[in-house]
Amino acid sequence: MELWVLFGTLVITLIIGLPLPFSMGIASVAALMVMDLGIPLVVVPQRMIAGIDNFAFMAIPFFLLVGELMNTAGITQRIINLSNALVGHIAGGLAQVNVVSSMFFGGMSGSSTADTASIGSILIPAMKKEGYDADFSVALTATSACCGPLIPPSIGMILYGVIANVSVTKLFLAGYVPGLMLGFGLLLTSYLISKKRGYPTHPRASVSQIWTAFTGSVWAAALPFLIIIGLLSGIFTVTEAACVAVVYTLFVGLVVYRELRVRDLPGIFMVATVKCGTMMSVAAAALIFAWVLTVLEVPQALATAILGVSENKYVILLLLNVFFLFIGTFMEPKASMLILLPVLLPVVPEFGIDLIHFGIIFIFNALIGLITPPVGIVLNLAAKIGGVSIDKAAIASLPFLGTMLLILMIITYVPAIILWLPGLL
């Protein structure tokens, strides 16, 4: 009965248009009122605050701020210039630039939406101008933006690390190889499509041109290395790394490139604050929702149900992938993470699945959800920038989606790909 009330209230409130944090909060309160356990409702705000009262969570607003600062500080354009010098001469030059730029950008902001908004606003119009099909440009931009949350730093990995109580630094290391695999897979896919359609290439850059592009972007490109070296050496924690990234980006924008102005800062801070407030309200509501699920013993019931299907680790992983891909079609990644992980994490170790391995699999599935309709947040954003309908963008994304699914299967069944670098640490 209580479970029906919980999910029924959640569905009804979402249908009538309430924001997700309010829907989860109201559903949790409704279920607690139906329970005959004598739990006072004052527990709800207490657990919401306690859930987000975590030092690692403080990294999120700072990394969000880095993404906003990069767009104004001239870093995005310099990343594109460097990418063009490196791969612009390959078939489908701007397509290759798009993917490589996303790999660089993702290593600084850790946000797919920030990547799509910044790089897409520059490269999608440029690709259309050079004769690329609009739907292809949109699909490639959306899928390449998925490299961001895999190549550290990653806001999704911070959330997972806090919820699963695992090392965020190890998660960062675990994401490198899958992120690079995805990047190179998209490069190959875009190369084959560009070759077939005869998309244009750029002249090969000379050594001096590559050097000029590198020296012009070296301050921007150094940020990911600064973060990971600091984490591995123990100089700072993930939260401190986020603070260092903000200070570094401010210095580069204000002093080195001088494209960021002091009068721009209030607006940038405001946008980052609103994004952070939205994310943390979802986190707080999802944590109380997950606690109610735990009280109702849903994780135990789920474990029993899964064991009833199979006890084989690889079959379980396949079923989880199918489930995550389905959930991703209609639920935003961070929301699905905050709702599902507290239910699944107690179950996963029973099947001998490493929590770091599971985390990267979950995040990869969530990223695929960013480009799969009907929600497909990143695909929708890219489609708006490119001026194409979401159905055309979705069809054009199928070859790239196939590449992502192939890589998902590889990292699922070859865990050493994920666990090799964390193992060194």
Q: What is the DSSP letter of 283?
A: H
Residue type for 307, please? L
Tokens read off for 48: 């919401």
- The sign of the torsion formed by the CA atoms of 68, 111, 86, 394 equals negative
Q: What is the pLDDT of residue 38?
A: 72
Q: Measured between alpha carbons, how far is 306 from 316 in angstroms, rounded to an integer?
A: 7
Contacts of 109 (CB under 8 A, 6+ apart): 63, 66, 67, 70, 115, 148, 153
In whole angstroms, how far apart are CA 381 and each of 114, 268, 327, 400? 10, 20, 20, 17
**How far is Cα of residue 203 from the mean position of the Cα atoms in its chain?**
33
Q: What percent of the chain clears pLDDT 70, i.e. is strictly above it?
A: 95
Tokens read off for 296: 């109702």
CB neighbours (10 Å) of residue 298?
16
Contacts of 288 (CB under 8 A, 6+ apart): 24, 25, 28, 44, 47, 48, 51
Q: What is the pLDDT of residue 108?
A: 63
Q: Which residues of the chain have pLDDT under 70?
A: 1, 37, 51, 54-56, 106-111, 299-300, 302-304, 306-307, 374-375, 425
Q: What is the pLDDT of residues 264-278, one digit of tens each?
A: 889 888 888 887 777
* Single pTM value for the model: 0.80
Q: Measured between alpha carbons, how far is 396 from 136 in angstroms, rounded to an integer?
A: 6
DSSP conformation letters of 191-209: HHHHHHHT---PPPPPHHH
Asked if residue 213 lies in contact with residue 96, where contact means CB atoms within 8 angstroms, the answer is no
Question: φ and ψ at 305, to 5 degrees?
Answer: -65, -45
Q: What is the pLDDT of residue 56?
A: 65
Helices and strands of the chain, counted as H and E runs: 21, 0
Q: Measured between alpha carbons, how far is 24 from 254 in angstroms, rounded to an integer?
A: 42
In whole angstroms, how far apart are CA 126 and each of 95, 141, 225, 337, 400? 10, 12, 29, 35, 20
Q: What is the pLDDT of residue 303?
A: 63
Q: What is the pLDDT of residues 26-81, one digit of tens each?
A: 888 888 888 776 777 777 787 777 767 766 677 778 877 887 787 777 777 788 88
Q: What is the pLDDT of residue 300?
A: 65
